[in-house]
Each structure stands twice: as C-alpha cells, then as structure tokens.
Structure 1
Amino acid sequence: MPSATDDLIQRLYESPPEGFVAARTAAIEDARRAGDKPAAKRLAALKKPTVAAWVVNLLALRRPELIEELVELSTALREAQRGLDGAALRELTNQRRQVVSALVAAAGKLARAEDRSIKLPLGEVEATLTAALAEPEIAAQVRTGRLIRAATYAGFGEVPRPRLRLVTDEVDGPDDEDDAGDGDDDAEVVEFPQPNAREKAAAERRRREFEQRRRDLRRELTNAQAAERRADEQLERAEAAERDAGHVVEDLDAELAELERRRTEAQADVARRKQARRLAERETAAARRQVGDVQAALEDLESDEPE
C-alpha cells in the first residue's frame, strides 16, 4: 500500500514542473517539522522533471493501461525482429506509429488540462514513448511516472526493415532444385548483379562515415551526460543554499517578530509612564497652589496680629 510520502511524490510529479521546486521545498520542511527524517531525505533526493518528462509522467500515472499496451506491443515487435518475420514486423511497425501517435495525443490532452500556458514538446514525448517500445529499461522507467528527462533510441524503427528485405530476397531466391541442377542453372546464378569496385568503395566510405558519426555522437553524449551531472550537482547545491537562506530568513523573521513585540510593549510602557508623569505634574501644581494659598493666609494673619 502506498505511503503518504509515495502519494506526495506522485502529486509532485503530476503537477506542472514550474512549481516543482517550491512544492518539494515545502514538503521537505513539513517532513522536518514532523520529525520524519527518512521522508525528508527521500523528498530532498527528488529531481525536477523536464516538461516532456512531466507529460509522459502524467500519461503513466493517469492512464497506466495505455502504457501497458505500449509494453505489449514492444514485446511483439522484439519477437518479430528476432524471428525476422518481415510481414509481422511491417504490420507491427505501422501499429507502433498509430499507438505512439494516440499516446502522444492522450498525453497532450492531459497536460493541457493541467496547464494550458505550457508549451508542450510533443516531439520529445513521442521520442520517449518510441524509446520505451525499444528498451525494456526505458519502459520500466516510464511506468514509474517519475521520469526527469525525455529519452531517445536511435536504433529502433526503420533500420531493421531494409535488412529484413535483404534476407527475404536471399530466402526467396533460387530454390534447392535450382541449386542442385545442371550447369545452366549455375550460369544463371553467376549472372546475378554484383557490386562493382566503385559501389564497394562508396559503401565502405558510407560505413566509415557512419562509424565516425556514431563515435562523434557517443563522445558528444558522454560530454552532455557529464555536463548534465555537473548541472544536477550545481542545482542541488543551489537548492540546498536556497533552503539554508530560507532558514536564515525564517530565523530573522522570528527575531524581528520578537523585537516588534518588545517594541510594542516598550511603547505601551512609555505611554503609561507619560500618563503617570502628567498626573504627577498636576498633583505637584495643585500642591504648589495650596502652599501658596497657605503662605498668603499666614502672611495676612500675621499682618493683623494685635500689638
């Protein structure tokens, strides 16, 4: 049974990415105040998804049955590839396009229902779902609903089809009876067109260019992944610094509130003391008037004293 933290994490990955960091920070603070250190640690380890990853997460969390259909189709495609079943592979490839298109449309609808202002990178969503068809590991990640970035797979799709046709052409060539026949049949086999030296050289050049391009792309991928790791680390440091700064602000706010309370109390005390001073001033003035009156009466009395 999913825990409260699991439910919270699901809500985080269902919500638009722009609010992810603030919501995660608030959730971490709530867990810390509740004394739930394991939950706080789990939440702190979560990474913000890209918009494309968020759209795929929505699909996986809200429409998991569609992802299961994708996985079933993936299994059928791999079996057709292993069995070199050209007809089945062509049919499944067409079906793949239809299924992926339908899933992209469903994911886009879910995302627009959440936030119409976000520009949806549906091409990356399509690439991720296509990659899930080709790689069980990617499909497993998609199922979790916690992707943080889009996925791609360059080796799936149309590449096996020309190879399969080549194999089919060889199988559909001269049958066993022709191979076992006389010299005339052998002459027909020799007459099959063979690639000339120029075609071989061009093919070899294309192969070298392809290999070089693949090496370049792999090197670029390695560099990009390293840069991504550095960026993730920098983001984590920045988020930690942001949290620490937030704690400082909270402490200062608390101190400021205490100082404001003391200031209010001091002002009230000053007002009370001012009122007491004014009362004392009135009493002093009255006493002075009384002294003056008594002195005047005494002087009058003394001036009338009989000799």
Structure 2
Amino acid sequence: MNHKGSGGTGRETGGHGTESAESVLDELYSTPPGDFVPRREERAAAARTAGRKEDARRIHAARRPTLAAWAANLLARSRPEEARRFQELGQSLREAHRTLDAAELRELSAQRRRVVSALTQQAAQLAGEAGHRLSQSAQREVESTLRAVLADARAADEWAAGRLAASLAPPSEFPPDTAPFAAAPRGPAPRPKPARRTAGTGDELAERRRRRQEELARAEEQAERAARRLRDGRAKRSAADASLRRADEERERARAAVNTAEEQLRTAHADLDRAERQHRAAEERVHRAGEEVTGAEREARTASRRVDRLNSRAR
C-alpha cells in the first residue's frame, strides 16, 4: 500500500493545475476537516482551468472527512509500518476467528484490545499535535474504525488508502473488543473435529497458530512502544509548556524593566534638555556681563584720562 506522510501531497512538478487527481486527493485527506472544503474547491478549480475536467469532477466529489475519520487517515499515513503490522494482525485475527478454539480467541481478544487502544491514543496524539483535540466520542469512532480494519478486509483496504470520509464499523458477526469471545457453539463446526485431523493437518494448524502468535507478539510490542512514545511525548510537551510559561514570565519581567528604563531615559533626556537650556541662558548672561564690563572699563579709562588732563591744566 502506498502511504504518505501527514503533510505530504505526492505532487508532480508544476503548479496546482498539473497535479494528478490521486495526489490532490491524498493531499485533501491529509488536510484538517476545517480546511478541506476551501482547499478542495481551489484544487478542483485549478484542474478545470488546466482543462482536466474529469480530475476536477473527481476532486469536487470528494467528501469532507469527519474529525475522527481524518485522525484515522492521519494514523495510517503517519505510521505506515505500524499500519502494515496492524493489517497483518487483522488477517491473523480473521483467520483465528475461523479456526481457533474459545480459549485462544479470548487470549487474542485481550491482545487486540491493547493494540487498538494504543493506536487510538497515537491517533489522538497526532491529531493534537496538528492542533485538533479528539473528544472521547471521536476517539471511540477511531476505535470503531480500527476494529473494522481488524474484522473486515475491505475496511482494511479503505483505511490503508488514507481517504476515509467517515468512521467505519466492524461487521456484527465479528466478536467485539468490549467483551470476551463467546464459547464456540456445540453444533457441527465448519472445521474437522480434532479426532478426524490427520497428523499433517494438525501440524499445519499448529504452525499457523505459532505464526499468528508471533505476529500478535510483534504487534503487542509495537503497541507498547507506541504507548511509551505517547507517554514520553506527553511528558516532553508538559516540560515544554512549563518552560514556555517560565519564558513568558521572564519576558514580561524584561519588558517591564525595558519600559521602566525607557521611562527613565525619557526623563533623563528631558532633564538634559532643560539643563542645556539653562546652560545656554547662563552663557548668554556671562557674555552680556562681559560686554558690560568691557564697556565700563573703557569708560573708566576715558574718565581717568580726562581727570589727568584737568589736573594738569589746574596746576
């Protein structure tokens, strides 16, 4: 199956008008539901402008996904390896439903619930990281889709395509995850009774069971790793949130200090302007006083010389 990342579009070269309908649909179903319709209309219009009427019709006919369906698409596209293992688990479970006894079915059911729960948490985390929190109701819809993927091959193919518009529901004949499997009916069974099995058939069934158990063990280990990543991611996000709050507080303190310093600077500039004006006024007074002294000195010298001349005449 061909999975793409949550942000990938698989575009061809050129502008929007040169993209294939398949790449555009991949992009649309990776788009959050709130942006789906305007982006769909933009891409359909680009295809029509490029003369690709059939592509435009297909793009325009794309249904807007529910939030839960979008999250399930995001999970399939962002976790391709886990999605592949999950599909393999579904194949094993469908075979187990046809062949295993009640005790083994109950064991597989418990493992299945753990895997579905872990993947649902992953879908919720991916949606949250993309800015869309999944409600409990939406998470239950994601769980329903994942149970359908395990129970029905066609549902598995739809999910693998990453273009779900609505959540899927498992078929009624497949045992639910919310209760243990019922005991096998006592009437005629579709498989041969153990007493009638040949040695080769028994060995073949044992080998199939062994392979299924190994696949389930790998899937369960994958689910545990996913749960650990989810816990680690939440812890990192909590630490990052705390760091952001501290940074916000420090920024506010720094901003307040800057505001105070700017106010002090404005006051200092005003004081400086006032002092400079006073200095210029004082210099002007000194200059005028100097001129007055110079004039008085001249008058004094003139008066002194006149007194000297008068004294000389009187003698």
Is the 2:65–2:165 Cα contact (8 Å) retained in structure 1? yes
Structure 1: how far apart are the matches of 2:123 and 2:133?
15
Q: Which residue of 2 aligns with 1:122?
A: 139
Deviation by residue 1:124-177 (Cα, 9 ceiling, x = unmatched): 00011001111111111101100110111233235783232x649xxxxxxx9x
Q: Within 5 A, what are the aligned runs for 1:219-238?
A: none
Structure 2: how far apart are the matches of 1:25 and 1:44?
7
The alignment status of 1:133 with 2:153, answered yes or no, reads no
Is the 2:144–2:169 Cα contact (8 Å) retained in structure 1? yes
Q: In angstroms, what is the RMSD of aligned CA positions?
A: 2.6
The alignment status of 1:149 with 2:163, answered yes or no, reads no
Partner of residue 181 from structure 2, selected from 148, 161, 183: 161
Is the 2:97–2:105 Cα contact (8 Å) retained in structure 1? yes
State the AA in 2 paired with 1:10: D
Q: Within 5 A, what are the aligned runs for 1:265-304?
A: none
Distance 1:118 1:135, change over 3 A: closer
How many angstroms does 1:68 deviate by?
1.6
Partner of residue 67 from structure 1, selected from 79, 83, 91: 83
Distance 1:129 1:119, change over 3 A: same
How many angstroms does 1:30 deviate by?
1.4
Structure 2: how far apart are the matches of 1:117 and 1:139?
25
Structure 2: how far apart are the matches of 1:51 and 1:132?
18
Partner of residue 48 from structure 1, selected from 64, 69, 89: 64
Deviates more, 1:63-72 or 1:134-143: 63-72
What TM-score, normalized to structure 2? Answer: 0.49
State the AA in 2 paired with 1:157: P
Partner of residue 26 from structure 2, selected from 5, 10, 26: 10
SS of the equivalent of 1:108 reads helix
State the AA in 2 paired with 1:125: V
Provide structure 2 residue ranges, at least 5 long, that are not aligned to the other structure: 3-9, 13-18, 188-194, 196-315
Distance 1:117 1:85, change over 3 A: closer
SS of the equivalent of 1:161 reads coil
State the AA in 2 paired with 1:124: E
Is the 2:29–2:70 Cα contact (8 Å) retained in structure 1? yes
What TM-score, normalized to structure 1? Answer: 0.50
Q: Which residue of 2 aligns with 1:284?
A: none
Q: Within 5 A, what are the aligned runs for 1:80-91?
A: 80-91=96-107
Distance 1:75 1:118, change over 3 A: closer
Q: Which residue of 2 aligns with 1:29?
A: 45
Structure 1: how far apart are the matches of 2:169 and 2:66?
14
The alignment status of 1:79 with 2:88, answered yes or no, reads no
Distance 1:118 1:27, change over 3 A: farther
| Runs of 4+, deviation exceeding 4 Å | 117-120
How many angstroms does 1:42 deviate by?
1.9
Distance 1:97 1:118, change over 3 A: closer
Is the 2:63–2:165 Cα contact (8 Å) retained in structure 1? yes
Q: Quick one: percent identity of the two aligned structures? A: 39
Provide structure 1 residue ranges, at least 5 long, that are not aligned to the other structure: 169-175, 177-307
How many angstroms does 1:8 deviate by?
2.3
Structure 1: how far apart are the matches of 2:58 and 2:182?
48
- Which structure has more RCO (C-alpha within 8 Å, separation ≥ 6)? 2
SS of the equivalent of 1:162 reads coil
Distance 1:117 1:136, change over 3 A: closer
Is the 1:16–1:115 Cα contact (8 Å) retained in structure 2? no
State the AA in 1 paired with 2:139: L
Aligned residues: 169
Distance 1:97 1:145, change over 3 A: same
State the AA in 2 paired with 1:156: F
Q: Which residue of 1 aligns with 2:113?
A: 97
Structure 2: how far apart are the matches of 1:68 and 1:111?
20
State the AA in 2 paired with 1:19: D
Q: Which residue of 2 aligns with 1:257?
A: none
